[in-house]
């Protein structure tokens, strides 16, 4: 008896069974599957619309920001478009403009608001430096010291970190806290040896040394080089034995 027809029939039966089970599964679960697909689709559309809305708001905020001419305009940008890059820029500029005008309380308020809303912003170190400078100008030394320390501790990779260390050292020195000031200058020189502020830190250390009576270090005298042989000198003849 030839087994081939039985094998073919068996294969057809398996295929039909798979199709039948698939159709049965679809009939039983199609409502649930369709419902889930609809949910995914709606969620995707919703997320897309949200991002589109955020993008449009950011564009509009930048447009208003470009037209801002006074601190009042900057304040409006920050209030009307919170969380946007334009709002962050507006607050930072608001703090800078107020500081340039000597309006220290307004400057502190703008910098603080920036730091409350944009803690991880790339320019957060700038806001901390501005905050420290404003506090220092008002004689609030503990607050200024805290701001300068935060720049170094929280934004060590920022280009403002070395400057903050110098500002901290100068602030401590002005208060007569010479040992702590020297530590700040030493840290700047060791952590940021290529910084443009290193030369100023070195001068501050020399100033502290003079104040404490430590003699300035003078470079060691160079070792005299051996005198070159004179040309044409007569070489003495070896002694005869």
Q: What is the pLDDT of residue 134?
A: 97
Number of structural domains in the chain: 1
Q: With respect to residue 66, please indicate whether it lies within any of the assigned structural domains.
A: no
pLDDT at residue 221 tops 60: no
- The vertex-70 CA angle with 66 and 75, nearest 5°, equals 80
User: 125: which DSSP letter?
Assistant: H
pLDDT at residue 230 tops 60: no
What is the rounded distance in angstroms from the CA atom of residue 158 to the CA atom of residue 155? 5
* Burial class of residue 61 (count of CB atoms within 10 Å of its CB; 0-12, 13-18, 19+): buried
Q: What is the CATH number of the domain that holds 131?
A: 1.25.40.10
pTM above 0.85, yes or no: no
Q: With respect to residue 2, please indicate whether it lies within any of the assigned structural domains.
A: no
Q: What is the pLDDT of residue 212?
A: 83
What is the rounded distance in angstroms from the CA atom of residue 1 to the CA atom of residue 181? 104
Domain that holds residue 202: 71-212
Q: With respect to residue 80, please indicate whether it lies within any of the assigned structural domains.
A: yes
pLDDT at residue 135 tops 80: yes
Q: What is the pLDDT of residue 200?
A: 96
The mean per-residue pLDDT over the stretch 16-33 comes to 60
Point out the least confidently predicted range of 65-79, 111-125, 164-178: 65-79
Q: What is the pLDDT of residue 82?
A: 79
Q: What is the pLDDT of residues 59-83, one digit of tens each?
A: 544 454 544 455 667 777 778 877 8
């Amino acid at each position: 008896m030839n087994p081939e027809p039985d094998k073919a029939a068996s294969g057809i039966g398996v295929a039909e069974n798979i199709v039948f089970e698939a159709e049965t599964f679809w009939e039983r679960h199609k409502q649930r599957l369709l419902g889930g697909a609809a949910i995914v689709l709606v969620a995707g559309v919703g997320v897309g619309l949200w991002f589109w809305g955020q993008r449009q708001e950011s564009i509009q905020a930048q447009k208003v920001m470009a037209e801002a001419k006074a601190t009042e305009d900057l304040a409006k940008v920050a209030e009307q478009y919170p969380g946007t890059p334009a709002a962050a820029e507006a607050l930072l500029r608001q703090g800078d403009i107020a500081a340039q005008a000597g309006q220290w309380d307004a400057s502190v308020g703008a910098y603080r608001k920036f730091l409350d809303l944009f803690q991880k912003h790339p320019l957060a170190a700038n806001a901390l430096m501005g905050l420290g400078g404003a506090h220092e100008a008002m004689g609030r030394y503990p607050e200024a010291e805290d701001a300068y320390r935060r720049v170094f501790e929280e934004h060590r990779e920022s280009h403002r970190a070395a400057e903050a260390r110098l500002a901290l050292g100068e602030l401590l020195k002005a208060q007569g806290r010479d040992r702590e000031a020297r530590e700040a200058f030493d840290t700047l020189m060791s952590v940021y040896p290529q910084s443009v502020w290193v030369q100023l830190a070195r001068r501050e250390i020399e100033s502290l040394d003079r104040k404490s009576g430590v003699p300035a270090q003078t470079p060691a005298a160079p070792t005299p080089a051996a005198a070159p042989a004179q040309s044409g000198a007569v070489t003495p003849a070896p002694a005869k034995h």
